[in-house]
Amino acid sequence: MPRRNDIQKILVIGSGPIVIGQSAEFDYSGTQACKALRQDGYEVVLINSNPATIMTDPELADRTYIEPLTVAYVEEVIRVEAAMMTPGAGKFALLPTVGGQTALNLAVELSDSGILDKYGVEMIGARLEAIKKAEDRLLFKDAMVRIGLEVSKSVLVNNLRDGLDFAGKIGFPILIRPSFTLGGSGGGIAYNREELMEILSRGLDLSPVHECLIEESVLGWKEYELEVMRDLADNVIIVCSIENFDPMGVHTGDSITVAPAQTLTDREYQKMRDAALAVMREIGVETGGSNVQFAVNPVDGRMTVIEMNPRVSRSSALASKATGFPIAKIAAKLAVGYTLDEIPNDITRMTPACFEPTIDYVVTKIPKWQFEKFPGADDTLGPQMKSVGEVMAIGRTFKESLMKALRSLETGKKTGSEELDPRRLLQRLVTPQPERLNYVRFAFERGMSVRDVARYTGMDPWFLHHVCEIALEQKQMAEQNAESITPAQLRRWKRMGFSDERIANQWGLAGHDGIQQVRELRYRHGVRPIYKLVDTCAAEFESHTPYFYSSYDEEDEAPPTAKRKIIILGSGPNRIGQGIEFDYCCCHAAFSLKDDGYETIMVNCNPETVSTDYDTSDRLYFEPLTLEDVLAIYEHEASGGAEIGMIVQFGGQTPLNLAQRLRKAGVPIIGTSPESIDLAEDRKQFGKLLEELSIPQPAGDTATSVEQALAVAERIGYPVLVRPSYVLGGRAMVIAYDAQEVARYMTTAVEYSSDRPVLIDHFLEDAVEVDVDALCDSRDVVIAAIMQHIEEAGIHSGDSSCVLPPVSIRATTLDVIRDYTRKLALSLKVIGLVNLQFAIQRDDSGEDHVYVIEVNPRASRTVPYVSKATGVPLARIASRLMTGRSLQELLPDVVASGKDLDPGSHFYVKSPVFPWGKFPGVDTVLSPEMKSTGEVMGVAATFGEAFAKAQLSAGQTLPSGGTVFFSVNDHDKPAAVRLARRYVELGFQLVATEGTADALESAGMNVERVFKVKEGRPNVVDLIKGDRIQLIINTPRGQDTIFDEKAIRRAAVLARVPTITTIAAAHAAAEGIGAMQSHKTTVYSLQQLHPLVAARS
Amino acid sequence: MQATLALEDGRIFAGEGYGAPGEALGEVVFNTSLTGYQEIATDPSYAGQIVVMTNPQIGNYGTNEADNEAPKPYIEGLIVREFSPVSSNWRSERVTDEYMERYKVPVLAEIDTRALVRHLRTHGVMRGCISTSDTNVESLVAKARSIRKMDGMDLARVVSTPTAYSFAAEDSLAETGNSLLPDNTSSDRSLLHVVAYDFGIKRNILRMLTREGCRVTVVPAETRADQVMELKPDGVFLSNGPGDPEPVDYAVKAIREMLGRVPIFGICLGHQLTGLALGGRTYKLKFGHHGGNHPVKNLRTGKVEITAHNHNFAVDPESMNANDVDLTHVDLNDNTLEGLRHKSLPLFSVQYHPEAAPGPHDSNYLFHDFRKLMDEWKR
């Protein structure tokens, strides 16, 4: 069946902000889908609230709406778009299967509420009944039984008593899975009644349909996943099989996984394949990709179906990258009527996409966790996903791929410095935690047998055998040294995947010099990696897709070309502080330089991204971002003799950390020099520069001891901001109000040394913070955006909402900021992008003082947001500047006028999204340490409406009426009075704790008083739990109230009451509520906001 | 244990030896199946061949009796990237290394198998020699060149059963009740008698026929048509097998004589022989089809089946008389003819392996089609 010609327009729904359980993989899938549909001549309309994505680039759709993913806003988009259609030219269709659970749930709601029917919109890619059958636990179970497949014993409950009854019947442990939540949110394993009650009540609450599945535990069974595709002609193929290294009990997103499946006989594999096909047919997924998960009892092979997702998923992204088969693209094509045999395989060009990829390498995925960001969070892994990102590595053997994946993780810890406690060994083997693999290795080093480790961990002995070999080999390494080692032995280690760093470490060769010694030894012995091709067919057919991985094997398949080339270093695994924004920049560099005639070469190890799509750049190296691996690629590519350069400023901190060493090794880094990047990080040199330029910065100094730190703090005055040097996302950064806190920080919170001192700065209270992004070619500077933070200084910029253009900064102050920006960019000889942070403090006489907080001569987190708000693709221009082109050539009008880039007549608010829901018990207060996982953008004609939209997109639905709870520190009391008055005007009731209530009452307002938690009951937490409070405004007051504030915030997260922790944000919220009360739902497409952009694309 | 592979064109791969020490000579072919190394090793169609597995990790799940496609391995040698010294699977009865050693199959590991596959893809299948004893490159290449080429070789006669035997649901090798093997659920149907020519028959074919309610008499390759007809078969099955179909002229003759007298179903070599019997030609493919992921389009239904392949030869579709024969299946990768059916006589055959083992079960229906054909013929 060929392309459907009865469709005119297709709405694609994205997945919204990056959250745990729904990450960059849906940018990859949405981007592929949009591209595929447009290539086929359909009019594509996209809605997604996440501005950091490639998919929301205006070039990828005919109209791009960065709007909240709620029924009301999607309906408005549908209404507007339906009205624009040419009558008789075809139908309006909705593709809900490439935007994760968010898009799928939204599509179900749109359908159930009759909106799709109302506007004549047809759902393609998945039928409503199929979605419901797959997602509804009970329907799914019935369906599986009908086709003769086993499922775990389970019961669906909507109250605690039924859950307890069932547990009584089948016994503990027992699994709780809430219906319709993403990433297994709210799920858990209960080992007793008490835990069951706790997890079940939370699960019921989180489930949009107030329903949980209670399930017999198959803990310790082997877990498998098959990626399946089906077309309208009922052709079904398995794209990839995945076997989990961690047994059942750990969410697959938190499991180490391996492709292809390693320990199934053909008989078992085919039985699983037959089951997956039957599931697809029974559920009725007519077109597109799905995944089906299975559990297998290692003792007798009994197989049960765990679940299936009738959409493109995280594992589809992994499977796509693991095999080279573009699942999302093909899924989009199938949705519009093509059959698998009509679609060519891009990689071989000669054969069709209707086949099952076979691979001649092993792929390992390891999740990336960041529990260090959330003190107090439970780091036990279970059915609810907790990782923030993942890495994938390809090797010719399992050992090689595992070791490559491990070094891709960038733990920041020195290799071999893991602190392993022998007394906790057994517990750590039994209980899944992020460090478990280290303990497995440790167990082998201490002589434990594979059989015993398998018994404790439930991991398959085949996997463990390999880990054991690695552990024992590593132990023996120390018996050799650089003189005694034979080339053959060195080669054997490299074939097992050991990095130079690990060998150096085992040989006691210290630091970067030690690693270099090993590298040079390796070169002397001629032990170098070669590059092999990912081709979907295990070399059976000739392939054209330049997608490579390294291996210590014999034949190289990636001879360098004669074209001039640029290597772009990606950003590695998604993590807090370094997310999809950097991938966005890397992709843009590839796009623009490809257009300019360069051969673009991408290096990255994150399977969720667009940058690791084989058609984003001319060549893709799926490799760890370590010096060893990057240098090897450089040397390989440079060996062809063509002109070559490397870009390090787009991938966040990961490539920047390598910049100096790459430069030393002779790699030509293009754009801003690594020296300038370092200068901006070096406190002394940077201070000197600011002095020369007469630009003020907050008083500060460095310290390497507790005494020194206290002296510095005393000298510059409290409060102080203390932080370690060289970190991203404000790791371990705090604001200290007194000596006690500084001392505590220095003794417990952070490690420091003479070359890595602690930085101590005076903290500017009540300052307004501003972020600036600018372009510079070392001659001209173009200011792309001045963004005003909505929270005050002191909250990490990544966690702060901000607005473009600024709403309450004086024109003269903006000019000061512009002046400082230009001066700094030029003196740092920036070529490309630079991000600056300023704080504006107003003194008692009303005069503004602008301080520089920091300068980062690299792409920042805000680049995609600013690009979307201004309609100017900053990263593209920046990459061209790096190749020697000029701003005068690329932005002649802007350079001539000397003005900032123009965001037009609208306001663009960016708001962060936090993972609080995943970490119950963790304090939700904002601080200098970044904690948000993603961001959204709201656009509107007024600031208030834009803010309200952003909040809505971030999952914080601002109430349009009800009661506001106020509890503010003394310092904020005058401001709180003005604020409370505004809320009263908006029709809100006030509730406050004693001190705040006094202040509000004395200003003449009616306030209901409530006890603090410590004071008695009913207290504020009782009110929150009783749904008496709709909005919380709670500014932190330091140590003595921490307990109260934590309790309030925790209750608020559970009850999903929006909590605002700064006065500035509370003002913005009031504006937003005001806008919302006027009940308008307006949507804007980027193409309409920036008509020039539309014209260009 | 050091081991070396020498190809007839002089290319050498040196690696580690596992399994049996010694020497193996044969035509080197590659197989892209991810699973099923044991079934592949014991498939008699691989007689005379050294098999390179493209999946780099082989031996992981050990070996077991139920997965044998014949009583012993038929491959001459096995080449893998990494060979597992341990096995991990509840079905495993013997570590793969021991199994190969016991059946005298040398295994070459730790070589760049992808480079070897690319070499074969570019230059076509060629003869090779694996040795754990001889390290002299020149002598190894000479040995590789010394063996007979597969073209024109009748290997079916060599691997075929010397005497007839019967196979039914009660047979222990059918292992009915094993949920992983084809189940015999056709007790309500009348038992039909199939005579199966053994050119190198796989055990799973016998199980699949049994599942369709057949008792099978397996006969030697050189059995004459009149001898078969004396057994009063409800249908005749032509099995898979190794080597070149052309020299198997005695079977072609037998097929011609049975045409129209009894329903016939052929697989692989059986299909090629059918093609020859119908007046067609066969030819050798450059590097053959060996794997479990080949898309085959059923031209009658338009549906694509993912299928298991193992053939170096194929029937030339141009050589078939379009008035007599429908071309029913085609490989979507390279348009190789994969199935045919006689327009008027009860006969069909496929080039690939609907019995799988190893491979996907998408084409299992063909055994059912054969049963239907026999039922209709009987009426």
pLDDT in tens, A250-294: 999 999 999 999 999 999 999 999 999 999 999 999 888 999 999
Distance CA A173, CA A153 (A): 13
B273 has a pLDDT exceeding 50: yes
Give the chain B residue nearest A459 (alpha carbons). Answer: B88
Instruction: Give contacts of B179 with chain A, Cβ < 8 Å.
Output: 271
- The CATH 3.40.50.880 domain(s) of chain B lie at 156-378
Phi, psi for residue B107 in degrees, rounded to 5? -120, 130
pLDDT digits (tens, 9 = 90+) for A442-480: 999 999 999 999 999 999 999 999 999 999 999 999 899
Share of chain A above pLDDT 70, in %: 97
Q: Where are the alpha helices (DSSP H) in A182-326?
A: 193-206, 266-283, 314-323
Instruction: Give contacts of A361 with chain B, Cβ < 8 Å.
Output: 56
Instruction: Give contacts of A266 with chain B, Cβ < 8 Å.
Output: 33, 35-36, 38-39, 67, 292, 356-359
Would you state the pLDDT for residue A1041? Answer: 57
Distance CA A32, CA A12 (A): 11
Assess B300–A contact: CB distance below 8 Å, yes or no: no
Alpha carbon of A829: minimum distance to chain B alpha carbons (Å): 48
In which band, very low, low, confident or very high, does the pLDDT at A1094 lie, cut at 50, 70 and 90? very low
- The CATH 3.50.30.20 domain(s) of chain B lie at 2-146
A373 has a pLDDT exceeding 80: yes
A300-304, A395-399, A967-971, range with the lowest pLDDT: A967-971
Q: Indicate the DSSP class of residue A901.
A: P
Share of chain A above pLDDT 90, in %: 72
pLDDT digits (tens, 9 = 90+) for A477-526: 989 999 999 999 999 999 999 999 999 999 999 889 999 999 999 999 99
Encoding tokens for residue A766?
Answer: 């009540």
> Which CATH topology does B156-378 take?
Rossmann fold (3.40.50)
Would you state the pLDDT for residue A218? Answer: 84
Phi, psi for residue A547 in degrees, rounded to 5? -120, 115
Q: Suggest the residue from B88, B303, B335 to mutate for an interface test with chain A (most A CBs closer than 10 A).
A: B88
For chain B, count helices (H), then strands (E): 10, 19
Instruction: Give contacts of A245 with chain B, Cβ < 8 Å.
Output: none
Give the chain A residue nearest B36 (alpha carbons). Answer: A266
User: B1 near B16, Cβ under 8 Å?
Assistant: yes
Alpha carbon of A460: minimum distance to chain B alpha carbons (Å): 7
- For helices A461-477 and A436-445, angle between their N-to-C axes, nearest 10 degrees: 60
- Rounded to the nearest 5 degrees, what angle is found at the Cα of A288, between the Cα atoms of B36 and A9? 160
Would you state the pLDDT for residue A752? Answer: 72
Question: What strand order describes the sheet that includes A303-309?
Answer: A150-151, A303-309, A288-296, A222-230, A236-244, A257-259, A362-368, A389-395
Q: What is the dihedral of CA A1044, A1048, A1053, A1056, to 10 degrees?
A: 180
Q: Would the CB atoms of A235 and B304 count as touching at under 8 Å?
A: yes
A753 against A976, higher pLDDT: A976
Would you state the pLDDT for residue A1095? Answer: 44
Residue spans of beta strands (DSSP E) within A152-235: 154-157, 174-178, 188-190, 212-216, 222-230
Would you state the pLDDT for residue B65? Answer: 94
A647 against A958, higher pLDDT: A647
pLDDT digits (tens, 9 = 90+) for B27-83: 999 999 999 999 999 999 999 999 999 999 999 999 999 999 999 999 999 999 999
Distance CA A49, CA A954 (A): 9
Q: Among A261, A355, A357, whose Cβ lies nearest the Cβ of B294? A: A355
C-alpha B64, offset from chain centre:
19
CA atoms within 13 A on the CB side of A205: 14
Q: Residue A693: in which H helix or E strand, if any?
A: helix A683-693
Would you state the pLDDT for residue A1097? Answer: 38
Encoding tokens for residue A415?
Answer: 């290799």
Encoding tokens for residue B81?
Answer: 């990237």
Query: Active site residue: B39, B119, B268, B294, which one?
Result: B268
Q: Among B67, B85, B361, whose Cβ lies nearest the Cβ of A265? A: B67
Give the chain B residue nearest A539 (alpha carbons). Answer: B118
Interfacial B residues in 308-347 facing A (CB < 8 Å)? 332-334
pLDDT digits (tens, 9 = 90+) for A106-134: 999 999 999 999 999 999 998 999 999 99
Q: Would the CB atoms of A269 and B89 count as touching at under 8 Å?
A: no
Q: Among B56, B357, B361, whose Cβ lies nearest the Cβ of A361? A: B56
Encoding tokens for residue A1052?
Answer: 């608020």
Average pLDDT, chain A: 92
Distance CA A221, CA A365 (A): 19
Would you state the pLDDT for residue A556? Answer: 97
Share of chain B above pLDDT 70, in %: 99
Q: Enter the pTM of the model.
A: 0.94
A171-180, A896-905, A934-943, A1033-1042, range with the lowest pLDDT: A1033-1042
Q: Is A294 helix (H, G, I), strand (E, B) or coil?
A: strand
Instruction: Give contacts of B90 with chain A, Cβ < 8 Å.
Output: 298-301
Q: Would the CB atoms of A358 and B38 count as touching at under 8 Å?
A: no
pLDDT digits (tens, 9 = 90+) for A429-443: 999 999 999 999 999
Would you state the pLDDT for residue B352? Answer: 98
A334-348 mean pLDDT: 92
Would you state the pLDDT for residue A347? Answer: 83
Q: Are β-strands A43-47 and B337-342 bridged in parallel, bridged antiparallel, or unpaired? A: unpaired
Distance CA A3, CA A153 (A): 43
Instruction: Give contacts of A232 with chain B, Cβ < 8 Å.
Output: none
Assess B162–A contact: CB distance below 8 Å, yes or no: no
Encoding tokens for residue A717?
Answer: 């005055």
Q: Pick from A596, A643, A650, A600: which is nearest to A625 by CA?
A: A650
Q: Would the CB atoms of A540 and B294 count as touching at under 8 Å?
A: no
Phi, psi for residue A792 in degrees, rounded to 5? -70, 170
Would you state the pLDDT for residue A844? Answer: 85
CA atoms within 13 A on the CB side of A382: 20
B110 has a pLDDT exceeding 70: yes
Would you state the pLDDT for residue B106? Answer: 98
Q: Among B39, B54, B88, whose Cβ lies nearest the Cβ of A360? A: B54
| C-alpha distances out from residue A355 to A280, A744, B365, Å | 17, 61, 19
Q: Suggest the residue from B2, B16, B29, B32 to mutate for an interface test with chain A (most A CBs closer than 10 A).
A: B32
Distance CA A800, CA A927 (A): 10
User: A606 near A366, Cβ under 8 Å?
Assistant: no
A228-248 mean pLDDT: 96
User: B310 near B356, Cβ under 8 Å?
Assistant: no
Q: Indicate the DSSP class of residue A230.
A: E
Instruction: Give contacts of B293 with chain A, Cβ < 8 Å.
Output: 355-358
Q: Among B60, B81, B295, whose Cβ lies nearest the Cβ of A262? A: B60
Q: Would the CB atoms of A540 and B179 count as touching at under 8 Å?
A: no
Residue spans of beta strands (DSSP E) within A543-654: 547-551, 565-569, 599-604, 619-622, 644-647
Longest dimension (CA), chain B: 66
- For helices A450-457 and A461-477, angle between their N-to-C axes, nearest 10 degrees: 130
Q: Among A260, A341, A555, whose Cβ lies nearest the Cβ of B112? A: A555
Distance CA A301, CA A750 (A): 49
Would you state the pLDDT for residue A226? Answer: 98
Q: Would the CB atoms of A358 and B84 count as touching at under 8 Å?
A: no
Q: Would the CB atoms of B91 and A542 count as touching at under 8 Å?
A: no
User: Taken in order A1057, A1060, A1065, A1067, is the CA torsion positive or negative?
Assistant: positive
Instruction: Give contacts of B292 with chain A, Cβ < 8 Å.
Output: 266, 356, 358
Q: Residue A1013: in which H helix or E strand, if any?
A: none
User: A1076 near A948, Cβ under 8 Å?
Assistant: yes
Distance CA B243, CA A1006 (A): 97
In which band, very low, low, confident or very high, does the pLDDT at B117 lie, cut at 50, 70 and 90? very high
Would you state the pLDDT for residue A563? Answer: 97
C-alpha A132, offset from chain centre:
28
A1096 has a pLDDT exceeding 60: no
A393-397, A700-704, A937-941, range with the lowest pLDDT: A700-704
Instruction: Give contacts of B182 with chain A, Cβ < 8 Å.
Output: none
A711 has a pLDDT exceeding 80: yes
A834-841 mean pLDDT: 95
Give the chain B residue nearest A240 (alpha carbons). Answer: B34
Q: Is there a catalytic annotation at residue B353?
A: yes
In which band, very low, low, confident or very high, does the pLDDT at B169 lie, cut at 50, 70 and 90? confident
In which band, very low, low, confident or very high, does the pLDDT at A918 lie, cut at 50, 70 and 90? confident
Q: Is there a catalytic annotation at residue B268?
A: yes
Instruction: Give contacts of A462 with chain B, Cβ < 8 Å.
Output: 60-61, 84, 86-88
Give the chain B residue nearest A464 (alpha carbons). Answer: B88
Q: Would the CB atoms of B181 and A267 count as touching at under 8 Å?
A: yes
Give the chain A residue nearest B290 (alpha carbons). Answer: A540
User: B38 near B63, Cβ under 8 Å?
Assistant: yes
Q: Suggest the residue from A221, A270, A543 to mutate for an interface test with chain B (most B CBs closer than 10 A).
A: A270
Instruction: Write the class of the CATH domain B2-146.
Output: alpha beta
A2-31 mean pLDDT: 94
Q: Would the CB atoms of A553 and B114 count as touching at under 8 Å?
A: yes
Q: Among A241, A351, A554, whose Cβ lies nearest the Cβ of B332? A: A351
Query: Active site residue: B119, B294, B309, B353, which one?
Result: B353
Alpha carbon of A299: minimum distance to chain B alpha carbons (Å): 6
Q: Would the CB atoms of B303 and A235 count as touching at under 8 Å?
A: yes
